[in-house]
């Protein structure tokens, strides 16, 4: 079959959530890109379902938050967490959480989290990416190999429908090709961490009669405990008929041919009375891994290609979307001539520690709800059984909290040691997974507050740098001139609001295109041009 050659500034390998998010981010910035996706975009077996707050903040910036809120999930369905021995068995404990409709955004964010199963989430992102004329999203295109030639990357891919070989010349390539990333393998980059936290099996079922079968009430997740500990959970998929069971097993269970999914579903139900259809079963390994490097030459890794983690907490995809948001503005900067190569090095410096931290927190969540103290009598009838059930229920409620309630981790991750941010001498705050205290300390997500016109402060950020000025008499022209000199896009925004001024704590705050604070003070530094040099990555090699 003939081969053809095309050019693109950025080649994204993989059209899953991370690849699509990067395509949207680049499309939103007007940077042309090509996405290669080997499949047809259909998700047969939904893994992700929780879209956490930071991802919803990016979705708001991209104008697609409402599409996610209205994805089709039953937003009246209550998202409680139930601990029990089986659906028909004993109730051990319960955490009350509202439905998506009843939930309010937390005070620290203009948006709230949402449930949106992957078979709907991926197409929402892909459609949003395709709406940009500058995004060329190709299905049935499989990357086969690539060569980093120093001044460009030459990628070879196969159109699996036509058999044609397509060669693509690109300035930068990003491997968003998932946990088994071929891009990562070809780069020779290792994954560091824990390759097995557990062996698991997912069973995706349709069971319209499930709600009527039990007395446990609606829940986002039912966690099953038996003598010996936690062994499985049932997770809501669409809030109606679709559910996913995950069982924690061992290596032998990974053999699909010997796996008796019907029997496992019945054990979870605690009865044979439910009619259900098994749609699919997939074995998977729960890991805590981070790639040793996120960049090699002109090639980058993002999403599961760069980090894999236990789904406990629902952070996996969101961490990949945050990679995309971080890398997107940096690629924009370099392709538009105002960023330096150091900016691209800062991608790994900023994102790698965050990925490792979130993966560790997710593993801790898994350990917490699988380390049940003593559940041997959990099925017993009588007072000893009751006492055991109460103790296990109380433990599970305590242990599970960080899994369901992690705003501090979702919004509080920070680039404290970034060479693109200027420390202001204030002490490094402790990151609290549960509780999120907003701060405008450099390296942190710039705080949300509502403006008089109904917008959020977060709506001010994105296109370039934003210089927030809380006292209109403070001179800023040297910084604006220095930015212009280097073609760095910078917008001055005057804010006359004392509450927001006290949240930001300084008269001048420079916010990056990704909404993170780069610098703050009450007056400009004497050498304003050097601040511009720092934020455009010119000193990264010197400081990293």
Ligand X SMILES: Cc1cc2nc3c(=O)[nH]c(=O)nc-3n(C[C@H](O)[C@H](O)[C@H](O)COP(=O)(O)OP(=O)(O)OC[C@H]3O[C@@H](n4cnc5c(N)ncnc54)[C@H](O)[C@@H]3O)c2cc1C
Task: Using CB under 6 A, list all residues that contact ligand X.
Answer: 13-19, 36-39, 47-50, 142-143, 176-178, 182, 202, 246, 284, 303-304, 311, 314-318, 320
Residue keyed to tokens 């701060």: 439
Q: In Å, how far are 51, 109, 503 from 449, measured between CA atoms?
A: 22, 8, 8
Least spacing, CB of residue 175 vs ligand X, in Å: 8
Work out how close the CB of 143 gets to ligand X at its nearest, in angstroms, rounded to a whole number.
Answer: 4
Comparing CB distances to ligand X, the nearer of 51 and 210 is 51
We find the least distance from the C-beta atom of residue 162 to ligand X, in angstroms, to be: 15
For ligand X, the closer CB: 130 or 377: 130
User: Looking at beta carbons only, is 35 or 446 nearer to ligand X?
Assistant: 35
Residue closer to ligand X (CB basis): 141 or 441? 141
Closest CA to 303 of 29, 58, 8, 13: 13
Paired strand residues for 83: 93, 223
Sheet holding 508-511, edge to edge: 490-494, 465-469, 508-511, 517-521
Nearer to ligand X, 40 or 384 (CB): 40
Do 159 and 325 contact (CB within 8 A), yes or no? no
Helical packing angle, 316-335 and 341-370, nearest 10°: 180
Nearer to ligand X, 268 or 490 (CB): 268
| Cα–Cα distance for residue pair 440/445, rounded to 1 Å | 7
Kindly tell me which of 29 and 315 has the beta carbon lying closer to ligand X. 315
Minimum distance of ligand X from residue 18's CB (angstroms): 4
The number of angstroms, rounded, from the C-alpha of 112 to the middle of its chain's C-alpha atoms is 15
Min separation Cβ 140 and ligand X, Å: 9
Whose CA is closest to 244, among 212, 280, 285, 284? 280
Sequence-ordered alpha helix ranges (H) in 270-302: none
347 burial class (0-12, 13-18, 19+ CB within 10 angstroms)?
Answer: buried
Smallest gap from Cβ 236 to ligand X, in A, equals: 11
Q: Which pair of structure tokens corresponds to residue 150?
A: 């120093």
- Report CA-CA distances (Å) from 489 to 34, 104, 305, 532: 25, 35, 31, 11
424 in Cβ contact with 521 (< 8 Å): yes
Question: How far apart are CB 302 and ligand X at their closest, in Å?
Answer: 7
Pair of tokens at residue 144: 């086969």
Name which of 305 and 517 has its Cβ closer to ligand X: 305
To ligand X, the closest distance from the beta carbon of 4 in angstroms equals 17
């Amino acid at each position: 079959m003939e081969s053809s050659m095309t050019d693109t500034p950025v080649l994204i390998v993989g059209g899953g959530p991370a690849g699509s998010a990067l395509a949207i981010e680049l499309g939103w910035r007007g940077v042309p890109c090509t996405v290669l996706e080997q499949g047809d975009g259909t998700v047969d077996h939904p893994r992700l379902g929780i879209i956490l707050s930071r991802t919803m903040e990016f979705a708001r910036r991209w104008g697609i938050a409402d599409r996610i809120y209205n994805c089709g999930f039953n937003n009246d369905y209550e998202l409680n967490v139930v601990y029990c021995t089986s659906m028909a068995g004993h109730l051990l404990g319960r955490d009350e959480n509202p439905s998506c409709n009843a939930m309010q955004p937390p005070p620290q964010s203009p948006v709230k989290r949402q449930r949106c199963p992957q078979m709907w989430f991926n197409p929402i992102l892909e459609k949003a990416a395709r709406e940009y004329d500058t995004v060329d999203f190709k299905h049935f295109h499989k990357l086969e190999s690539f060569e980093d030639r120093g001044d460009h990357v030459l990628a070879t891919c196969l159109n699996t429908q036509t058999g044609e070989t397509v060669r693509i010349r690109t300035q930068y390539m990003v491997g968003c090709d998932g946990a088994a990333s071929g891009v990562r393998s070809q780069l020779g980059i290792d994954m560091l961490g824990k390759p097995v936290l557990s062996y698991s099996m997912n069973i995706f079922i349709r069971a319209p009669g499930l709600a009527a079968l039990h007395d446990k009430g609606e829940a986002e997740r039912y966690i099953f405990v038996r003598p010996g500990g936690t062994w499985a959970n049932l997770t809501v998929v669409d809030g109606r008929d679709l559910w996913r069971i995950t069982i924690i097993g061992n290596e032998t269970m990974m053999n699909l041919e010997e796996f008796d999914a019907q029997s496992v579903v019945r054990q979870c139900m605690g009865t044979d009375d439910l009619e259900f259809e098994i749609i699919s079963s997939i074995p998977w390994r729960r890991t805590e891994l981070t790639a040793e490097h996120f960049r090699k030459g002109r090639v980058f890794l993002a999403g599961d290609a760069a980090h894999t983690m236990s789904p406990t907490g629902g952070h996996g995809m969101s961490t990949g979307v945050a990679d995309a948001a971080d890398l997107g503005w940096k690629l924009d900067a370099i392709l538009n001539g105002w960023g330096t190569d150091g900016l691209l090095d800062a991608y790994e410096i900023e994102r790698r520690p965050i990925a490792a931290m979130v993966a560790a927190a997710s593993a801790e969540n898994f350990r917490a709800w699988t380390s049940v103290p003593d559940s041997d009598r959990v099925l017993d009838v009588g007072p000893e059984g009751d006492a055991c059930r109460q103790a296990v229920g109380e433990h599970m409620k305590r242990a599970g909290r960080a899994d369901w309630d992690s705003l501090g981790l979702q919004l509080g991750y920070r680039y404290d040691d970034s060479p693109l941010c200027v420390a202001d001498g204030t002490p490094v705050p402790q990151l609290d997974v549960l509780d999120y205290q907003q701060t405008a300390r450099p390296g942190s997500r710039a705080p949300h507050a509502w403006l008089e016109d109904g917008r959020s402060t977060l709506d001010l950020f994105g296109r370039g740098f934003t210089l927030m000025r809380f006292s209109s008499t403070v001179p800023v022209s040297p910084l604006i001139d220095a930015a212009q000199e280097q073609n760095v896009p910078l917008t001055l925004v005057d804010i006359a609001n004392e509450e927001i001024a006290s949240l930001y704590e300084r008269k001048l705050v420079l916010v990056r295109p990704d909404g993170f604070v780069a610098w703050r003070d009450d007056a400009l530094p004497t050498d304003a041009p050097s601040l511009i040099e720092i934020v455009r990555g010119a000193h990264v090699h010197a400081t990293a």
